[in-house]
Amino acid sequence: VNHKETTRKLNNGVDIPVVGFGTFKIDDKNVKELVLSAVDIGYRHIDTASYYNNEKGIGEAIKDCGLKREELFITSKLWMDDLGYNNTIKAFEKTMENLKLDYIDLYLVHWPRPLAVESWKALEEFVQQKRARAIGVCNYKKQHLEELIASTNIIPAINQIEIHPKLQQQETYEYCMKNNIAVEAWSPIMKGKVAEMEILITIGHKYNKSPAQVALRWHLQKNIIVIPKSSHQERMKQNMDIFDFNLSDEDMLSIATLEEDIRLGFDPDYIYKNGFDPKRDLK
């Protein structure tokens, strides 16, 4: 793999930009302007979800950004309340209407749940109908992937999971690499917390890069796609400016020692078993 490349091929031949723009917690009112800035800065891959309630604003940005549709890579996700074959079709139509698109580049199941297998049959149809160029999952551990793959036809193109230096997900990462499922990291810079990590600061000094840039570069060199979010243009630029340096093997190894099994989000096993209830699960 050439880590200078800004795109790579998924297991079905579709190209994906390896740095995308995350939009979780960006309000529908503000998202249009921020996505337009991101596109100006050079982002071509935008990550959203029906759960983020900002698809409409993103659709406005796509329409008005001045680029051709095929120059952009757009991802959205199926929320867990919408699982099951018929619900999935309804949810997908809603997402497409919100985004004002007639095809999407990547459609993901947002969390593993037993019913997701039924949804996957609908996702396979979206691919056949050329309304989704690629389909995948989020937050799947090895056992969830095995369950899905055993009873469906298309192997997920992507598994989008929480990964950063303090949560490296070795088992899931290796399973995905072995099965040609691309790994995409959410919270790749630990929601900004990498800025305080001494080792990353020290490594960054060698290359004149910030700790966030070191963390993002570490992902790319592990062949992981990243989708950092920022509401500030300066940081949006920084998070894209990671193609002109290479971490040494020694740097990669010292970052590998930072593993602490620390999660910022839910454990997928908890969600698989219990689903998600905002009253119970959000403090």
Ligand X SMILES: NC(=O)c1ccc[n+]([C@@H]2O[C@H](COP(=O)([O-])OP(=O)(O)OC[C@H]3O[C@@H](n4cnc5c(N)ncnc54)[C@H](OP(=O)(O)O)[C@@H]3O)[C@@H](O)[C@H]2O)c1
Q: Which residues are catalytic?
A: 52
Kindly determine how many residues on this chain lie close enough to bind ligand X according to the rule CB under 6 A: 28
Unique residue bearing structure tokens 């959000």 = 282
Instruction: Compute the least distance from the CB of residue 37 to ligand X, in Å.
Output: 12
Stretch that binds ligand X, among 99-107, 126-134, 145-153, 227-235 (CB under 6 A): 227-235
- Does residue 212 interact with ligand X by CB under 6 A? yes
- Does residue 24 interact with ligand X by CB under 6 A? yes
Binding residue for ligand X, selected from 140, 238, 240, 272, defined by CB under 6 A: 238
Instruction: Compute the least distance from the CB of residue 195 to ligand X, in Å.
Output: 5
Binding residue for ligand X, selected from 35, 229, 268, 272, defined by CB under 6 A: 229
Pattern 62-101, ligand X, x by CB under 6 A: ----------------------------------------
Instruction: Compute the least distance from the CB of residue 34 to ligand X, in Å.
Output: 9
- Does residue 262 interact with ligand X by CB under 6 A? no
124 to 163, contacts with ligand X by CB under 6 A?
138-139, 160
Stretch that binds ligand X, among 62-70, 89-97, 186-194, 217-225 (CB under 6 A): 186-194
- Does residue 53 interact with ligand X by CB under 6 A? no
State the SS3 of the chain.
CCCCCCEEECCCCCEEECECEECCCCCHHHHHHHHHHHHHHCCCEEECCHHHCCHHHHHHHHHHCCCCHHHCEEEEEECHHHCCHHHHHHHHHHHHHHHCCCCEEEEEECCCCCCHHHHHHHHHHHHHCCCEEEEEEECCCHHHHHHHHHCCCCCCCEEEEECECCECCHHHHHHHHHCCCEEEEECCCHHHHHHHCHHHHHHHHHHCCCHHHHHHHHHHHCCCEECCCCCCHHHHHHHHCCCCCCCCHHHHHHHHCCCCCCCCCCCHHHHHHHCCCHHHHCC
Interacting residues toward ligand X by CB under 6 A: 22-24, 47, 110, 138-139, 160, 186-192, 195, 210, 212, 227-232, 235, 238-239, 265
